[in-house]
């Protein structure tokens, strides 16, 4: 009999079985679900800790106002003070001395918010004088917000700063160098947003940032060589900034301001209907005051 016959007539052949799959242990299940929960929880906690609408108790608000390690906490406290002012909550007056103190805070965003908050109560002791001093702030946004708040006091001293809010920001190179990276023109940008990177003759990298929120009109492109003081970018102000400035000029604007207002009356894709209409009624109010019909 052949070897093949021997195989065919031998006893049943045992087919090897795959080892049974082991399920996750209890510890692995706990770790799996904990990881999944954290993936969901962490973004919520980040949002919760940075959302300015989260209610703060008086103690939390006081702590946040003095949390110099986290300027966003200071800013959040200021926003809530403003909201309480709007609801006629007299208890916020206990923090009015802090509003005066924060007018010279080293972080620009805090000073900017502070200038806006002080405009919510024209009876606040020292607010008027402090806002007048803030018209000389190094930040154009702080100067603008201080000027807008002064209008609530019936004070038009900050009119030049308000008109400036309608103007594009022209950003220049602090030193000579080469653009090694830059954003694209037409990109929306927030205040302090990065526009370009400039490398000087020593190889040092310098970041060129926008002093205002808005949309970039032009930016020197990668590879361009620029001299110190040369224009690197032009940023048009954002719609909210323009709208607030137009509202203020409706009350205090003069004929000399019309050249800055009229560009916003045009029907252009980047100018909203609300802004265009506000520009039109602002010009009319100015012309009526001046007796120009």
The answer on pLDDT for 20 being more than 80 is no
Q: Percentage of residues in the chain with pLDDT exceeding 90?
A: 77
- Predicted TM-score (pTM) of this structure: 0.78
Domains of the chain, each with CATH number or no CATH:
49-164 (1.25.10.10), 169-237 (2.40.50.100), 242-293 (no CATH)
Residues 6+ apart with CB under 8 A from 204: none
Q: Can you give the pLDDT at residue 275?
A: 95
Question: 118: pLDDT confidence band, cut at 50, 70 and 90?
Answer: very high
C-alpha span between 147 and 253 (Å, rounded): 13
Give pLDDT tens digits for 171-230. 999 999 999 999 999 999 999 999 999 999 999 999 999 999 999 999 999 999 999 999
Q: What is the largest CA-CA distance in the chain?
A: 126
Q: Is the pLDDT of residue 134 over 80?
A: yes
Mean pLDDT of the chain: 86
Q: Which residue has the higher pLDDT, 104 or 266?
A: 104
The confidence score (pLDDT) of residue 148 equals: 97
pLDDT at residue 44, as a whole number:
37
Average pLDDT for residues 235-243, to the nearest whole number? 95
Q: Is the pLDDT of residue 158 over 50?
A: yes
């Amino acid at each position: 009999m052949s070897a093949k016959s021997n195989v065919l007539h031998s006893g049943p052949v045992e087919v090897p079985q795959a080892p049974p799959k082991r399920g996750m242990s209890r510890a692995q299940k706990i770790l799996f679900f904990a990881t999944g929960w954290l993936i969901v929880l962490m973004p919520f906690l980040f949002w919760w800790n940075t959302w300015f609408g989260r209610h703060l108790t008086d103690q939390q608000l006081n702590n946040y106002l003095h949390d110099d390690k986290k300027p966003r906490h200071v800013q959040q406290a200021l926003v809530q003070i403003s909201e309480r002012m709007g609801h006629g909550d007299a208890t916020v007056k206990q923090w009015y001395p802090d509003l005066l103190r924060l007018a010279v805070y080293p972080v620009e965003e805090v000073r900017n918010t502070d200038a806006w908050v002080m405009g919510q109560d024209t009876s606040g002791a020292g607010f008027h004088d402090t806002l007048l001093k803030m018209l000389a702030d190094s930040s154009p946004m702080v100067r603008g917000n201080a000027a807008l708040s002064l209008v609530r006091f019936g004070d038009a001293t900050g009119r030049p700063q308000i008109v400036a809010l309608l103007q594009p920001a022209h950003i220049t190179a602090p030193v000579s160098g080469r653009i090694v990276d830059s954003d694209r023109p037409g990109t929306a940008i927030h205040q302090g947003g990065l526009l370009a990177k400039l490398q000087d003759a020593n190889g040092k990298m310098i970041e060129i940032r926008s002093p205002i929120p808005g949309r970039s009109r032009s930016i020197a492109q990668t590879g361009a060589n620029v001299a110190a003081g040369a224009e690197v970018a032009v940023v048009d102000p954002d719609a909210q900034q323009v709208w607030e400035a137009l509202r203020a000029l409706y009350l205090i604007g003069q004929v000399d301001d019309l050249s800055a207002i009229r560009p916003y009356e045009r029907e252009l894709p980047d100018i909203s209907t609300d802004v265009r209409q506000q520009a039109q009624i602002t010009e009319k109010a100015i012309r009526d005051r001046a007796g120009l019909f």
